[in-house]
Amino acid sequence: VVAKASLAELTVEDYERTIRINQIGTFLGMRTMAEPMKAGGGGSIVNISSIRGLVGRAGLLAYTATKFAVRGMTKVAALELGEFGIRVNSIHPGAVATRLIGSATPEQVDPNFAHQPIGRIARPAEIAKLAVFLASDDSSYSTGSEFVADGGISAGDPA
């Protein structure tokens, strides 16, 4: 969930709601799966964070805080669960053509994304394929890592 408001305008209720969904939801998912995965001999947890878990954006204080938290929780879980054969990684997508973005499609030229190296938003399948890779044994030596799929926006400002 995204609560768009400046620091001065963000309500405690909106901040707490964002934390409950984005941060506590991730925590509960990992906690729920840890014991069954240990009993099963291992596996892979893939947390979905955001590019906002790496860089902030004005007006997205609560969202950014939760996505940084997901990044940190992923690292701690990787440290705690690695000995049980459980890998834990996070994906940090940029904008993706979902209901959160609205009616935008990857093919539309959106001026908000024209400045990034890949000047469009992601297709959901592009992020899903990265998640499948991280869930598979093909990524067997990756844990505690951030995988960025943001069209190059975190590479820097090309101007």
Q: What is the DSSP letter of 93?
A: E
Tell me if 45 sits within 8 A of 86, measured CB to CB: yes
pLDDT in tens, 60-118: 999 999 999 999 999 999 999 999 999 999 999 998 988 777 655 666 556 666 778 88
Mean pLDDT computed over 36-42: 98
Catalytic sites, residue numbers: 63
Q: How far is CA 9 from CA 5, 20, 68, 148, in A?
A: 6, 19, 21, 30
Render 29-91 in DSSP notation, one character per residue.
HHHHHHHHHHHTT-EEEEEE--GGGTS--TTBHHHHHHHHHHHHHHHHHHHHHGGGTEEEEEE
In this predicted structure, which of 13-22, 24-33, 91-100 has the lowest mean pLDDT? 91-100
Task: Calculate mean pLDDT across residues 131-149.
Answer: 98
CA atoms within 13 Å, Cβ hemisphere of 46: 19
- The DSSP symbol for 118 reads S
Q: Are 42 and 88 contacting, i.e. CB atoms less than 8 angstroms apart?
A: no
User: What percentage of the chain reaches a pLDDT higher than 70?
Assistant: 89
Q: What's the number of CA atoms in the CB half-sphere (13 Å) around residue 74?
A: 26
pLDDT at 1: 73
Give pLDDT, residue 62: 96
CA Rg, the chain, in Å? 16
pLDDT value, residue 20: 97
| H/E stretch holding 132 | helix 124-135
User: What does the pLDDT average to over 132-153?
Assistant: 97
What rounded mean pLDDT belongs to the chain?
91
- The pLDDT assigned to 110 comes to 61
Contact 122, 106 (CB under 8 A): yes
